[in-house]
Structure 1
Amino acid sequence: MSRLRSLCVFCGSSTGADPAYEQAAITLGQSLAREGITLVFGAGNVGLMGAVATAALNEGGRVVGVIPEHLTRVETPNSNLMELHVVESMHTRKRMMFDRSDAVCILPGGLGTLDETFEFLTWRQLELHHKPVILANIQGYWDPLLTLIDRVIEEDFARATARGLFTVTNDITEVIPIARGELPMNGTHPEGPSTHLF
């Protein structure tokens, strides 16, 4: 089994309506730090982004943030990060987060989180990568998305294999074991050739 060294987390820049969302982010951040897994995230010090990063940092974890310059005035970057990369565009942000991570976890979030999710899933559908993508379905948050994907498949806009592009879990403590279990045997580490899309 390949070693999981870094996990990209996509999530909301707000905490959402249900306290369970923030608790899941905190639990994930703590678990990553305790397991020695680097957190790669959107660098913001707000919402679930801030919660997952602060939890990891408080446990002595390594945290890497990536944020477009234009968002630094809205989502003030966490000042305690080991690495902070300020980039020129949203696309560059997603690309760098992809390159720096072995697997992806998607927590509850808004339109930006959906954008990131679908881009990573599309890349995987096109076989540009084989990194695990885990949907953390906290309190059933992603149920409507799963229903939509089923509808897309039913209406022949995607193959049934689209459901295999990601793994769903309702339990945040399962994220790391799932990511470890799904890592390709040839590795997906940042310095390896399998991280490059083109």
Structure 2
Amino acid sequence: MWESIAAFIGSAMAIGLFYRAWQSNLIAFKRIAKLGALVLMFGSFMLWVKQHGPELGICYGVVAFSLQAWSWIYFARQRIDKDIKRVSLPFVGDLPQPRLAVCVNALIKAAACVGLSAVCAMLVTVVWTTGLNMSKVNQIALGIYTMPVLWGAASYWLCADSKLWRPICALSGLSVLSYLFIYSV
């Protein structure tokens, strides 16, 4: 239990060091703070792994880091928002109607982000977690932790790529291969 607490505190200190390095204007401090943060992150991951084993330790470490990072961002934003003075902008006229091609592209992208990326993430998660040599409970836990990450990464790729056909073809291909692997074995 003490190792988990030390890992949690170490990861919080690492996120804090990254935040301070980002705010600082001194290049030497930035480098030292980033190096210290990386050392703390590595040590924190090692403590998580020592306490919970490699499968769940890495998952706990990733979840702890992400929750702490989003907490730092939230509280920093709350502090910054108090100092911002709101400006009232003059009235903006009517916006032009989007073209039909833009609307169709946006609908395809939305359907692919919600549907195709979710199906692909689910199938790929099942394939790679069942391929690992661990107990069923750990496979399920690892799938629960990683499926949303894969889904988010696929959705991000769909939204970020300038050519919509590339991520759709790749995700469709991964889905088909995963489906064949699952149901042909």
Q: Please give the range of the TM-score, normalised by the shorter of the 2 chains.
A: under 0.3
Larger relative contact order (CA 8 Å, sep ≥ 6): 1
Question: Could you say which structure has the higher helix fraction?
Answer: 2
Q: Which has the larger radius of gyration?
A: 2
For normalisation by structure 1, the TM-score amounts to 0.20
Question: Could you say which structure has the higher strand fraction?
Answer: 1
For normalisation by structure 2, the TM-score amounts to 0.21
